[in-house]
Amino acid sequence: GDDNDADLTQSGDSQATGILQVGIGNTATVSQTGAGTDPAIPTVEEVLTGEADGAGIAQLGNGNTASITQAGLNGGSGILQLGNDNVAGTNQTGTSSSSFSGVVQTGDRNIAGVTQNGTDDLPTVFQTGDENTATVSQSGGDFSLVNQSGESHSATVTQDGGATSEVSQFNVFTGSPGNTASVTQDGASNSAVSQLGQDNSADVSQTGDGNVSSLTQGGAPPPVDDFIGDEGNGASITQDGAGNNS
């Protein structure tokens, strides 16, 4: 394609990066420090599934921006953008070891940001549709999955200390307001938020060990049998302590 830009900076041993750009006006930036295990160029699929460390970016569309910054040992980051004007960034800091992150954007004008600082973190963001926003920040062996399908959803996940979070957001109407979810966890917590419909909001905050939270609005996505979910619901769960269930 035309007017694509790729910038690569590497410092360390056995670092590997693969960048594929098909389209016009895409920008890819990769900065790696530390050490990897295999200097062979990885595919995006290998990085997304944890089969290879290093960095992989694939951009098929126009005007997409992808940035990967990683430091530490044996980590991997993969970004796949299929559409136009999407923005994705992953940042794995110097104390991150054996952490992997994946972002897949299919559609237009989606925004995803992942920041992690720890060991064995695994965040994955899937965005299908337009103008969705996902922000994930975690440290210390956390797992998170954000799955957004439709338009204008917003998800924010902040975790510290081996927590697990899953956020699923779906709507079906073009131009409909999206759903909003915020999850904050500190400790060995579990949280699952499912939103089907439009203009629903969910807020989950857990502090301590052994907390479990599940929140469903509009039924479990994706929509089936012409059931399109609920509209305008708000829910909040706050737990402070050990051994809580909600």
Dump pLDDT digits (tens) for 214-229: 999 987 666 665 567 7
**pLDDT exceeds cutoff 70 at 45:** no
**pLDDT exceeds cutoff 90 at 139:** no
Top-confidence range, 42-56, 75-89, 211-225, 227-241 = 75-89
Percent of the chain with pLDDT over 90: 45
Positive or negative, the CA dihedral 51, 56, 62, 64 is: positive
Average pLDDT over residues 116-142: 89
Measured between its terminal Cα atoms, the distance across the chain in Å is 51
The confidence band for 6, taking pLDDT boundaries of 50, 70 and 90, is: very high
Top-confidence range, 37-46, 78-87, 92-101, 218-227 = 78-87
Average pLDDT over residues 15-34: 87
The mean-pLDDT minimum among 32-36, 114-118, 199-203, 237-241 falls in: 32-36
- Asked if residues 44 and 58 have their Cβ atoms less than 8 Å apart, the reply is yes
Integer-rounded Cα radius of gyration of the chain:
18
> Any idea of the CA torsion for 125, 50, 142, 107, to the nearest 10 degrees?
0
CA atoms in the 13 A half-sphere facing the CB of 166: 11
Average pLDDT over residues 129-146: 91
**pLDDT exceeds cutoff 60 at 242:** yes
The confidence band for 152, taking pLDDT boundaries of 50, 70 and 90, is: very high
Tokens of 71: 């430091």
The confidence band for 59, taking pLDDT boundaries of 50, 70 and 90, is: very high
- Asked if residues 48 and 104 have their Cβ atoms less than 8 Å apart, the reply is yes
Average pLDDT over residues 8-12: 78
Strand partners, 78: 56, 102
- The pLDDT value recorded for residue 141 is 74
Q: Does 14 or 238 have the greater pLDDT score?
A: 238
How far apart are alpha carbons 191 and 187 in whole angstroms? 12
User: Distance between alpha carbon 90 and the CA centroid of its chain, in Å?
Assistant: 9
Q: Does 138 or 62 have the greater pLDDT score?
A: 62
Average pLDDT of the residues of the chain: 84
Tokens of 91: 């940042």
- The pLDDT value recorded for residue 180 is 96
- Asked if residues 131 and 152 have their Cβ atoms less than 8 Å apart, the reply is yes
**pLDDT exceeds cutoff 60 at 95:** no
**pLDDT exceeds cutoff 80 at 44:** no
Q: Does 243 or 177 have the greater pLDDT score?
A: 177
- Predicted model pTM: 0.89
How far apart are alpha carbons 9 and 76 in whole angstroms? 15
Q: Does 212 or 229 have the greater pLDDT score?
A: 212
Per residue in 152-191, is it b (16+ CB within 10 Å) or e — as a string? Answer: bbbbbbbbbbbbbbbbbbbbbeeebbbbbbbbbbbbbbbb
